[in-house]
Amino acid sequence: MGNPIILDGKHVSNEVRQSLKPRVDALINKGITPKLATILVGNDSSSETYVKMKGNACAKLGMLSERIHLPEETTTDELLQEIRRLNEDENVHGILLQHPVPSQIDERRAFDEIAIEKDVDGVTTQGFGQIAFDFARFPSCTPAGILEIIDYYNIPIEGKHAVVIGRSPILGKPVAMMLLNRNATVTICHSKTEDIADVVRKADIVVAAVGKPKFVQGDWIKEGAIILDAGYNKGNIGDVDYDACLEKCGAITPVPGGVGPLTIAMLLKHTVIAAENKIK
36-73, pLDDT tens digit by residue? 999 999 998 889 999 999 999 999 999 999 999 999 99
Q: Are 64 and 36 in contact (CB under 8 A)?
A: yes
Between CA 279 and CA 74 the distance in angstroms is 35
Q: Are 252 and 7 in contact (CB under 8 A)?
A: yes
Cis peptide before 100 (omega within 30 of 0): yes
Q: Are 204 and 161 in contact (CB under 8 A)?
A: yes
The class that CATH gives domain 140-260 is: alpha beta
Cα-flanking dihedrals φ and ψ of residue 8, to 5°?
-85, 95
What is the pLDDT, as a whole number, of residue 2? 63
The set of residues, in sequence order, having a beta carbon less than 8 Å from that of 183 and lying 6+ positions away, is 157, 158, 159
Other CB atoms within 10 Å distance of the CB of residue 104? 11
Q: Are 5 and 153 in contact (CB under 8 A)?
A: yes
Same fold flag, 29-116 and 140-260: yes
Positions of the chain with pLDDT lower than 70, given as ranges = 1-2
* CATH number listed for the domain at residues 29-116: 3.40.50.10860
What is the pLDDT, as a whole number, of residue 280? 77
pLDDT digits (tens, 9 = 90+) for 243-274: 999 999 999 999 999 999 999 999 999 999 99
- CA distance readout (Å), 120 to 112, 139, 148, 233: 13, 8, 16, 25
Give the active site residues.
Answer: 54, 98, 121
Domain map (residue ranges) of the chain: 29-116, 140-260
